Copies of this chain bind each other. A is one copy, B any other.
Amino acid sequence: MNEFDLISCLSARLPAPPPEVVVPMGDDCAVLRFGDALWVATADMLVAGRHFEEWATPEEVGYKAVAVNVSDVAAMGAVPRFMLASGGADDVETTLGCMEGVLRACDEFGVYPLGGDTIRAAVLTVDVAILGQLAHAPVLRSGARSGDLLAVTGELGASAAGLLALQRRDTGPERLVKKHLHPEPRGNLGRKAARLGVQAMIDISDGLASDVRHLCQRSGVGCRIYLDLLPIAGDTQEYLRSIDRDPQILATTGGEDYELLIAAHENVVKELEAESDVPITVIGEVVRAGVVFLRNGEPVENLSGWDHFPGFEGV
């Protein structure tokens, strides 16, 4: 059983949703109707030793915990509005530092903190639950149709390259390290994409290979992804080659990009490009069935992203 089986296992036990629930769990966020307004809700937790090591300051961890939730809200096309943060560490300074990072991110992303829980824990742990507001219909993972283009915002692989630099204690690639520690969720772009009427959207947190599969699975479609088209910055490529890693493979499997993967008609992609201040790159297309990654016209097998419980079987 892996993380996604675990989620399926739990989802199967859900009661019938109350009338406020427009979209239950299973997308980047659940969607609720309160009065005339649509809201989205999600949560993400970060734990030391699992999501970060001692190279991340408590402030960076707190900041990132909010940013990754803002990315999920962006992937629905919503505006982040309110959040609750729970967490702590073994000493009050670390706990305070983490909560300061949370508040800095709240300020940065225009999210109002409603409270939470400060606790004492053996290792730094922080969970953020967020509420976002929709001005349009939510963009789900399930709307992709054969013939849509697949496009990504910004760049891929920089965060995973930055993580490698941190793990290897390489001090050169500072921009990549910053991409890893200080993600920039694509809030404005997510809302523009929703307004322009993209078909489907997901944020790339587990890695393109995993996240495009989630989108295809929910949409009942397949896709072709062209690794040669992936937007990988020059410094990412250079650093990865210097440590004998394949930039295209890492950009496909690395995770934590917090970019948006969008399925849309060609003209909608063009409109989004025209309105965007970051690059929008077409990396493939939606087909009827089969998730295929191609490089120089040849399929690349066995690409997968992050699994929180790899190698667990038998439950």
Q: Name A residues whose Cβ lies closer than 8 Å to a Cβ of B.
A: 1, 3, 6-7, 9-10, 13-15, 17-18, 20-21, 24-26, 29-30, 32, 34-37, 39, 41-45, 47, 49-51, 81-82, 84-88, 91-93, 95-96, 99-100, 103, 106-107, 112-123, 125, 127, 129, 131, 308-309, 312, 315
Contacts and interface: CB of A to CB of B under 8 A. Distances in A.
Given A50-B120, A91-B312, A118-B308, A45 B112 contact: no
A131 B129 CA distance: 11
A10 B99 contact: yes
Nearest to A106: B15
Nearest to A107: B15
Secondary structure type dominating chain A contacts = mixed
A7 B18 CA distance: 34
Contact of A86 (B18, B50, B92, B127): B127
B120 A122 contact: no
A25 B129 contact: no
A113 to B, nearest CB: 6
14 contacts: A13-B100, A25-B114, A34-B34, A35-B37, A41-B82, A49-B122, A50-B122, A86-B127, A92-B315, A116-B129, A118-B308, A121-B123, A127-B127, A127-B129
Contact of A84 (B26, B42, B123): B42
Copies in the complex: 2
Nearest to A46: B119
Most B-side CB within 10 Å, residue of A42, A51, A91, A114: A114
A43 B119 contact: no
Contacts of A91: 312
Given A43-B86, A45-B86, A129-B129, A17 B112 contact: yes
Contacts of A30: 114-115
Contacts of A96: 1, 6, 9-10, 315
